[in-house]
Amino acid sequence: MAQIIDGKLIAQQTRAEIAEEVAQLKTQGITPGLAVVIVGENPASQVYVRNKHKACGEVGIYSEVIAMPEQTTEEELLAKIDELNGSTEIDGILVQLPLPTHINEEHVLNAIKPDKDVDAFHPINTGKIMIGNPDFLPCTPAGVMVMLQKSGIDVCGKNCVVVGRSNIVGKPMAMLLLAANGTVTVCHSRTKDLASVTREADILVVAIGRADFITGDMIKEGAVVIDVGMNRREDGKLTGDVDFASASERAGYITPVPGGVGPMTITMLLRNTLTASALHHKR
């Protein structure tokens, strides 16, 4: 039976470390600040934004939530981002996705100053990740790396398979594993005989958005299985991209859903906001 990697516990430990660093900055008269912009009434987005605001309060980061109506124009949103770019109180800017369909997501994300882009979505920040010289790391992949480290799992020399190639998780996850000297394979919907590839993985990271897609027979005995997925079954229960019951019989380590990667994502947003504050006050 696999050992559970407890994302809640690791997130608590990491947030305690962040809170200490924030407290030290405050003794120098510096308070890190995060602005979260939400456009429209998407219920899931509203929950995420509330959770981010609450997490900031818990570690002592100043947090500002800017709620804009659904009919907000792209020009109005860009003007708000420009205002936040110039604010000395705000170190990090996050625009909650998805945006209403009449707003171009790429235009908006590219408008955030790279040194305030705490989601690490700006092309400059993604480029820095590619060349191994990042200022910020994307929150979910960064959270996965912290979970591996705090669980005593060494990536160096391991066969690492990432299932999924999104810009938010799959691609940057591959880059971070590569930077840690893993041997990385990226799989996707066009991969032939996916199971034959996943069965070679010492570390398997799954982020494809398909409930219970990876089953125990697709996993190498003793592998580390990181499930980034978050799906809701017909009965309303949350489940990941990995079939936990069968996978946990084969894996050496596994993350649950919920309580695995999820808590780490917001934690790394806090870390990036702290990093942004440090960057701004070095100048």
- Say which CATH number the domain at 228 has: 3.40.50.720
Q: Are strands 231-232 and 224-227 parallel, antiparallel or unpaired?
A: unpaired
Start-to-end Cα distance in the chain: 51
Residue 37 corresponds to which amino acid?
Answer: V
Q: Are residues 64 and 154 in the same domain?
A: no
Task: Classify residue 161: in a domain, yes or no.
Answer: yes
Pair 70, 38 in one domain? yes
The Cα–Cα gap between 274 and 251 comes to 35
- The amino acid that residue 93 corresponds to is I
The reported pTM is 0.95
Q: Is the dihedral of CA 98, 103, 105, 109 positive or negative?
A: negative
Q: What is the pLDDT of residue 283?
A: 54
- Report CA 102 to chain centroid distance, whole Å: 26
Q: Is residue 190 part of a domain?
A: yes
Taking Cα atoms as reference points, which of 276, 229, 264, 227 lies closest to residue 94?
Answer: 276
**Cα–Cα distance measured from residue 241 to residue 218, given in angstroms and rounded to the nearest whole number:** 13
Based on the domain organization, do 155 and 65 belong to the same domain? Answer: no
How many domains is the chain partitioned into structurally?
2
Looking at the annotation, which residues are catalytic? 52, 96, 119
Q: How big is the CA angle at 19 (ends 17 and 25), to the nearest 5 degrees?
A: 110
- 279 found inside a domain: no
Domain that holds residue 219: 139-262
> In the numeric block, which tokens belong to residue 280?
């701004």
Within a domain: 3:
no
What CATH number is attached to the domain comprising 89?
A: 3.40.50.10860
Residue type, 267: T
67 located within any domain: yes
CB 178 within 8 A of CB 161: no
Q: What is the DSSP letter of 2?
A: P
pLDDT along the chain (283 residues), means of 10: 96 97 96 98 92 97 98 98 97 96 97 98 96 95 98 98 96 97 96 98 97 97 97 87 97 97 96 96 74
Domain-embedded: residue 218? yes
Sequence-separated (6 or more) residues with CB below 8 Å from residue 156: 180, 181, 182
Do 41 and 76 belong to one domain?
yes
Residue linked to tokens 């990385």:
184
